[in-house]
Structure 1
Amino acid sequence: MTLSLKKNVIAEPSIAGWYAWSYLLPPQTLALYLKNHYRTIAESFIANPQTHRTALKQARFQGGPFVIERHEGAHEAVKQWYEATAQQRAPLLELADAIEELEQKILPEQTGASMEAVYKQLPEPLAGCVELFYNRDNRTPDYRFIEPLLYSSPYFDRGLHQVRFSEVHADDRDFALTTPVLEYSPEQVLVTVPLDSALLDDVFRGGLGADDLDRVTAELGLRGERAEVFKGFFEEDTVETGATVETGATGATGAAPPGGGDVIEYVGHACVFVRHRGTTFLVDPVISYSGYSREADGRFTFADLPERVDYVMITHNHQDHMLLETLLKIRHRVGTVLIAKSSGSSLVDPNLKRVLHALGFADVVELDDMDSVRTPGGTVTALPFLGEHGDIRIRTKCGWLLDLDGKRVLFAADSTNVSPELYPRVAALVDHVDTVFIGMESVGAPVSWLYGPLFPERLDRKVDAGRRLKGSNFEQGAAIVDALGADSVYVYAMGQEPWLGAVMCVEYDEAHPAMVDSDKLVAYVRDSGRTAKRLYLHETIALGT
């Protein structure tokens, strides 16, 4: 008898007590989010929880800086946790202060003279960890982090890494990014474990004997009742699949069985699974759980993944495209992770390859614009990706073009066609693209919703409202489709699936601009005799259709 996690057990990673996403791994960005964002949320909730309760009754405040209470005693639990962990946060707050001193006091005084003496003015947390320079006008000072040195410093503290295990019983998820990840009830088990720990692979791989489970439980530091609750998250395996064991019937949710032929499976939001000539690809992994009542029929869930995912391809570094919760759960299956090349260790664009290494992924390959890697039966090419990032300098983004024996499939994600000349130039290099997946969340959140804690000063409200994290509208999307000559067009990445609630708060009705724009694109493509559909929940697509 062997044991694996039940299909409805979720494992929520956290860093410094907050739901973990990629910007909480680098010490420099974690420091600023703790100081400029999470500290405000926690202290506001502790001082006046009723303000949070009142705000969350209004739809427009969903996804805002408010703590969600689902358990009795949550307010006291947050208060005790925040007081008890003050010393853990202190070094990171010192690092945040040092960054702000550099940006707001030291650099503004530099007007073109030599930077040599300025290094002596650096606050101690940054000394030896940054390079100072002028931009090309020879007047504007700037800097970059020497990130490996920060990751090897005390500011990168794996003791702040935790994972909370619990069971879910429906697809709907509360927004997770603004509520401390604590043990709010006896049914939750929070363990302190580095996110790159091989122990987590043991847990998620499953197929554990009773002695193995005892060992893993003990090495996670669990004793007594908490150990028994943790063991209760496991169940006997029922179906053997080669060297490992999966619980439940493979493909039971309606997705194509993992061992089948060539196929494209829309998994939800921007996540797509592709199998071609036995090679498997997974784009922007955000995957649904299963094993509970009232689940959506026909979904592709973790149980439908093959034992091996040869390539994970991440279009850009937003939490709904690079979800740590999913990545950690599938890490033991993954061969190579493909990402866009980073810009140079800035605050707003930390090195994603280093983030993934810190998460325990060994084989990470960066591709620059129009770079390719060969795969059995084809290539993967990184295409330029404009927009979606509020006009800040983010380089770590690309669309992924899969060439599968001459059938070309583009995953454009939230690429916004702000420069209509771009895609005709791309088409001249890559020729015909058969199928395009395109995101059309054409309104999006203001740039400060995600990046505000990293800005040295608050954006003017009008400017903030005009610089948004959005995908293409109808005109922009239609121009992409026409430039590439696509025969099939699928609108995706709309955030409609209920399990996206943990990281997104998008509410649509038929009059919402994103729905209007995507309906118009679908109609436009169909009117020309081509295939088009807005995707939701799950779709099986034959290659080339």
Structure 2
Amino acid sequence: MYLRPEVKIEPLVGRWHAWPHLVSPVQLALHVAYRLLPLLKSFVGSPAAHVTANQDPKMYGGPFVGLRDEDVDAAKALIAKLEVDAAPLIALAADLRQLVAMLDEEASGYSLDAFYARLPESLRGLVELVYDLNHRADFRLFEELLYDEDMTRSLQEIWIHTTPESERDFFMSTPRLDNRPGLTLPLHFGDSRLDALSRSRNEPVSVMALCAELGVAEEQRPYFESLFTDEEPPRAALPACEADGVRMRYFGHACVLFESADETILIDPFMSMQGAKDGRFTINDLPDRIDRVVITHCHQDHFCMEMLLQLRPRIGSIVVPGNNNGSIADPSMALVLRDMGFREIVTLRPFDRIQLAHGYLESLPFTGEHADLNIHSKHALALQLRGRKFLFLIDSDGRDLALYRRLSARLGPLDAMFIGMECHGAPLNWLYEPLLMKAVSRRNNESRRLSGANAERARNILQEVNTRRVFVYAMGQEPWMKFIMGLQYEPDSIQLLESDRFIQDCQGAGIECERLYLSRQVEF
């Protein structure tokens, strides 16, 4: 039997959809204490306000819990459970803020030695106290040691369900409660048994044997068995790549697969589970073996844990940028992946290269889209494959044109450039508020956005980069992206208008340009 295409294998942390900040221990602590529990308590205190807000499509993606009036008791039960199960994390979050306040008030430039004796117990042996070059006190976390505390794995679960992709609740504001249809398995993300479940999407399995392997309870087996079919899932029938050819397949949003006769490289995997009549590719249209998966940065629409866990059996190695080690704003992607059970992880710093059989993959600087935070775990990419050369600028904002002039001098002519143009992104606090140690003013918050390039900046980049072809992508409009992106453009949305202007500029300059959506296949 095969797992039905519509089945979701959703990783949860404390009953919330898992994304990287809910796996790295310090970031999880701050989110539980300063976002997740306050959201639930707000819903319990005033359910009608949340229910009303969620009836307005324009409020989707906002700070409103997508539950019903009849869910109040279940929400109260989850609050009580989290306050017990996550108690060490909640204490850690409070201690971090206490440490910051102490350093702000008392560290004047004099030696920090005396502060070590005053560290909260939860932080002893886990931080180094430092000054920056302007004599401002700060601290650096020993992030690797925090994973040894094992404060997170007990909160990890796998929820198996068939919720339609377009109807999934927004990941950041709505927990997955027990009263929803589905099956929850108490498995941590690194459990190798998940590979057998993932393989069943495109390899036949014995459902009874899988039940036993996963520890499915007797009373849950009828539901589990209903998730399988004897019909082999459809797959796109493609001929093998020609000896000197390169094939690009676009799977939606920022997910691009490059194939040659001897290499498969998948960038930012996030695709539909279930086929439709709109021509989309699905997870079953991927190769059985993916030599390298490349993750460009730590945002949930690029570093999709749900997708990566299901691809784990197919992946040779996974490539990520290095982080600003010890910074709360910038957790290590490599450590998150290791906790998820990946072992072949390659970390790149800017201008590091991986040699391929017939080319290379190079990490490049990526500015913007991170609200001016000092985050290192992001990279643009140069890919050379069988003599073709591609540049992925991801969600770069294009502010400093001298950077692209320098990059172009290194790279030379390109066959294609990919650029994200989500040019009016969410403000700083939408994603990062729980990690901030001080409140941000509304004016400053609105000015610091998770934005890519607009038409003018993209056009200026194009003047510096020598490319024959341009693809605008990563716009987040595919139906299966809604629960992660929290946005849906109108025809007059600035993101579409700006990308339309840029496409017209490219075409006016004789450069082939298109905005990618749903799927695309190109032979280079």
Q: Same fold (TM over 0.5)?
A: yes
Alpha-carbon separation, structure 1, partners of 2:448 and 2:474: 19
Question: Is the counterpart of residue 250 in structure 1 residue 199 in structure 2?
Answer: no
The alpha carbon displacement at 1:122 in A equals 0.6
The alpha carbon displacement at 1:172 in A equals 4.9
Question: Is the counterpart of residue 44 in structure 1 residue 42 in structure 2?
Answer: yes
Residue in 1 aligned with 2:386? Answer: 405
C-alpha RMSD of the superposition: 1.7
Residue in 2 aligned with 1:424? Answer: 405
Residue in 2 aligned with 1:280? Answer: 264
1:269 to 235, 249, 253: 253
Alpha-carbon separation, structure 2, partners of 1:85 and 1:529: 58
Alpha-carbon separation, structure 1, partners of 2:6 and 2:444: 43
Residue in 1 aligned with 2:127? Answer: 130
1:144 to 137, 140, 143: 140
Aligned length, in residue pairs: 519
Residue in 1 aligned with 2:374? Answer: 393
What code does the residue aligned with 1:17 have? R
The alpha carbon displacement at 1:57 in A equals 2.4
2:162 to 155, 161, 167: 167
Alignment of 1:361-510 (within 5 A): 361-510=342-491
> Does structure 1 conserve the Cα–Cα contact (< 8 Å) formed by 2:292 and 2:317?
yes
The alpha carbon displacement at 1:440 in A equals 0.4
> Does structure 2 conserve the Cα–Cα contact (< 8 Å) formed by 1:130 and 1:144?
yes
Secondary structure of the equivalent of 2:33?
helix
Alpha-carbon separation, structure 2, partners of 1:196 and 1:283: 22
Assess, with a 3 A threshold, how the Cα gap between structure 1 residues 500 and 123 changes in structure 2: closer, same or farther.
same
The alpha carbon displacement at 1:260 in A equals 4.4
Alignment of 1:61-100 (within 5 A): 61-69=59-67, 73-100=70-97
Once the two structures are superposed, residues 369-393 of structure 1 have per-residue CA deviations (whole angstroms, 9 ceiling, x without a partner) of 1111011111001111001100010
Alpha-carbon separation, structure 1, partners of 2:514 and 2:194: 38
Alpha-carbon separation, structure 2, partners of 1:88 and 1:174: 24
Once the two structures are superposed, residues 99-141 of structure 1 have per-residue CA deviations (whole angstroms, 9 ceiling, x without a partner) of 111111245411222222211111000000111111123x211
Alpha-carbon separation, structure 2, partners of 1:489 and 1:173: 32
1:181 to 176, 183, 203: 176
Secondary structure of the equivalent of 2:401?
coil
Once the two structures are superposed, residues 1-24 of structure 1 have per-residue CA deviations (whole angstroms, 9 ceiling, x without a partner) of xx2311110011111221100011
> Does structure 1 conserve the Cα–Cα contact (< 8 Å) formed by 2:269 and 2:307?
yes
Structure 2 residue runs without a partner (length 5+): none
Assess, with a 3 A threshold, how the Cα gap between structure 1 residues 37 and 134 changes in structure 2: closer, same or farther.
same
The alpha carbon displacement at 1:249 in A equals 2.5
Alpha-carbon separation, structure 1, partners of 2:463 and 2:490: 28
> Does structure 2 conserve the Cα–Cα contact (< 8 Å) formed by 1:17 and 1:182?
yes
The alpha carbon displacement at 1:278 in A equals 2.8
Secondary structure of the equivalent of 1:478?
helix
Alpha-carbon separation, structure 1, partners of 2:431 and 2:82: 25
Residue in 1 aligned with 2:191? Answer: 197
Query: TM-score by structure 1 length?
Result: 0.92
Secondary structure of the equivalent of 2:86?
helix
Secondary structure of the equivalent of 1:469?
coil
> Does structure 2 conserve the Cα–Cα contact (< 8 Å) formed by 1:183 and 1:189?
no
Alpha-carbon separation, structure 1, partners of 2:3 and 2:104: 52
Moved more, 473-482 or 73-82: 73-82
Alpha-carbon separation, structure 1, partners of 2:399 and 2:497: 19
Secondary structure of the equivalent of 1:503?
helix
The alpha carbon displacement at 1:336 in A equals 1.1
Alpha-carbon separation, structure 1, partners of 2:106 and 2:414: 51
> Does structure 2 conserve the Cα–Cα contact (< 8 Å) formed by 1:258 and 1:306?
no
Moved more, 101-110 or 352-361: 101-110
What code does the residue aligned with 1:110 have? A
Alpha-carbon separation, structure 1, partners of 2:305 and 2:240: 26
What code does the residue aligned with 1:425 have? R
The alpha carbon displacement at 1:431 in A equals 1.2
2:5 to 4, 7, 32: 7
The alpha carbon displacement at 1:257 in A equals 2.8
> Does structure 2 conserve the Cα–Cα contact (< 8 Å) formed by 1:192 and 1:220?
no
What code does the residue aligned with 1:83 have? A
What code does the residue aligned with 1:89 have? A
Once the two structures are superposed, residues 402-421 of structure 1 have per-residue CA deviations (whole angstroms, 9 ceiling, x without a partner) of 10122111121101111111
Query: TM-score by structure 2 length?
Result: 0.95
Once the two structures are superposed, residues 214-270 of structure 1 have per-residue CA deviations (whole angstroms, 9 ceiling, x without a partner) of 34424534212312212221222x5xxxxxxxx32321xxxx638445310111011
Once the two structures are superposed, residues 444-483 of structure 1 have per-residue CA deviations (whole angstroms, 9 ceiling, x without a partner) of 0001100011001221001100100000001111122221
Alpha-carbon separation, structure 2, partners of 1:415 and 1:525: 18
Assess, with a 3 A threshold, how the Cα gap between structure 1 residues 219 and 81 changes in structure 2: closer, same or farther.
farther
1:525 to 501, 506, 509: 506
Residue in 2 aligned with 1:214? Answer: 208
Assess, with a 3 A threshold, how the Cα gap between structure 1 residues 259 and 231 changes in structure 2: closer, same or farther.
farther
> Does structure 1 conserve the Cα–Cα contact (< 8 Å) formed by 2:37 and 2:79?
no
> Does structure 2 conserve the Cα–Cα contact (< 8 Å) formed by 1:106 and 1:121?
no
The alpha carbon displacement at 1:485 in A equals 1.0
Alpha-carbon separation, structure 1, partners of 2:285 and 2:139: 45
2:226 to 228, 232, 239: 232
Assess, with a 3 A threshold, how the Cα gap between structure 1 residues 174 and 258 changes in structure 2: closer, same or farther.
farther
